[in-house]
A and B are shown apart, each in its own frame.
Chain A
Amino acid sequence: MSETAVVKRPVGDPYGSSGGDEDILRDSLFTTRVDEVVAWSRKNSLWPMPMGLACCAIELMAMVGPRFDVARFGAEALRFSPRQADLMIVAGTVTKKMAPAVKKIFDQMPSPKWVIAMGACASSGGMFHSYSTVQGVDEIIPVDVYIPGCPPRPEALIAGILEIQKKIASR
């Protein structure tokens, strides 16, 4: 994306870490560059696709509920249509029978998209060393953040979403 004419950065240093006026501008304004504004809006309005496949989905629901309230981070709009989502939370055991569906739903999500592997099963297969279980969802789709736990607490999932937000902001 193109830069606006406000800040002129030296060639070869597109993110302007050299100090001076540019850093002061970056600290005080967030409308210095188009892609920063876009990243800011993206990270504060993540729409998760709840790929709830097992018991982790219960903790996922708890995260959206009033006690943990992920709406504080703008990610409360769980979309059950992959076309409207940009963050897939794989919560639960991915069996080999379910794997094509997970892959298809991920492919149907519009880019840019991110994936959280929530819990032991989605991250690595967990305790299911089994012919029927995918040994980690990263064997079929790219995963950005892994959250260990069986299941992880809703706080851990919120920590994962904050990690995703950090990743989006630093793109």
Chain B
Amino acid sequence: MRVRRSTTLSFGERIYLPGILKGMWLTLRHIFRAKVTLQYPEQKWQVSENYRGIPALVRDPEGRTKCVACYLCQWVCPPRAITIGATPVYSNVEKGPETFEINMLRCIMCGYCEEVCPEEAIFLTREYELTGTSREALIFGKEKLLQIGGIRPDAIRKWAHK
């Protein structure tokens, strides 16, 4: 298809002013529209309930680590961010995590660990604004993960009387 365009500019196009005024009129209209900017450090984003932030371990209401070091999350983790070292933590339970490290720099917050966990011991939090100045600072150990996760009550209190 042939498009025919005039090669000569009209008087209005040659003096540029109508074009400039049209642009400025658009800018002026935007001044009176609703403001969309989130004033971030002071004003936070409304995080949805099912947001996938950084993963963390949780304790049961008795204050025990729910993790039994079954290695499923370590096995399923696509970027291999989780490293577990197992040991009998409580005398009457076969295994528990002696060390539990998540490399937050590897973690892609996919939620496979939460999905696969048979003990409901690992959850993705709603934390989304983590930064660090070194790689070591962003490898979170067991204590730190438990501190982030906190206590998560559930209906089945498996070890309550053991």
CA distance A75 to B44 in the complex (A): 20
Interface size band for A: 20 to 34
Q: How far is the CB of B74 from chain A (nearest CB, A)?
A: 14
A-B contact count (CB 8 A): 89
The reply to whether the CB of B16 lies closer than 8 angstroms to some CB of chain A is no
CA distance A148 to B128 in the complex (A): 9
Nearest chain B CB to A115 CB, angstrom units: 11
A22 partner residues in chain B, CB cutoff 8 A: none
Beta-carbon contact of A120 and B45 below 8 Å = no
Contact, CB under 8 Å: A159 / B131 = yes
Q: Are A148 and B130 in contact (CB under 8 A)?
A: yes
Q: Is the CB of A155 within 8 A of B106?
A: no
Identify the stretch in A9-17, A81-89, A105-113, A122-130 within 8 Å (CB) of chain B at 4 or more residues: A122-130
**CA–CA, A145 and B86, complex, Å:** 32
Given A66-B37, A69-B37, A129-B80; A150-B105 close (CB under 8 Å): no
Q: How does the 8 Å CB contact mask read for A19-44 relative to B, with 1 for contact and 0 for none?
A: 00000000000000000000000000
Q: Does B133 contact A (CB under 8 A)?
A: yes
Interface residues in A89-140 by Cβ distance below 8 A to B read 120, 123-127, 129, 136, 138
Identify the closest chain B residue to A163 (Cβ): B131
Set of chain B residues within 8 Å of A126, measured between Cβ atoms: 79, 105-106, 108
Q: Complex Cα distance A150/B40, Å?
A: 20
Q: Give the Cβ gap from A35 to chain B, nearest Cβ, in Å.
A: 21
| Interface pair A68/B40, CB less than 8 Å apart | yes
**A125 nearest CB neighbor, chain B only:** B106
Query: What's the least CB distance linking B111 to chain A, in Å?
Result: 11
User: Any chain A CB within 8 A of the CB of B155?
Assistant: no
Question: Which of B79, B105, B129: most chain A Cβ within 10 A?
Answer: B105
Query: In whole angstroms, what is the CA distance A170 to B57 when docked?
Result: 35
Task: Tell me whether B132 is interfacial, beta carbon within 8 Å.
Answer: yes
| A79 is an interface residue with CB less than 8 A from chain B | no
- A8 within 8 Å of B (CB atoms): no
Question: Is B21 an interface position by the 8 A CB rule?
Answer: no
Known A120-B108, A126-B79, A127-B106; judge A156-B129 contact (CB<8 A).
yes
A146 CB to nearest B CB, Å? 5
Q: Is B67 close to A, CB under 8 A? A: no
Q: Which of B38, B40, B131 contacts A146 (CB 8 A)?
A: B131
Binding site for A on B (CB under 8 A): 36-41, 44-45, 54, 78-80, 103-110, 128-135, 138
| A contact set with B: CB distance below 8 Å | 66-69, 72, 120, 123-127, 129, 136, 138, 144-150, 152-153, 155-156, 158-160, 162-163, 167
What are the 9 closest A-B residue pairs judged by CB atoms, nearest first?
A150-B108, A127-B79, A124-B105, A123-B105, A148-B104, A69-B37, A159-B129, A160-B131, A156-B129
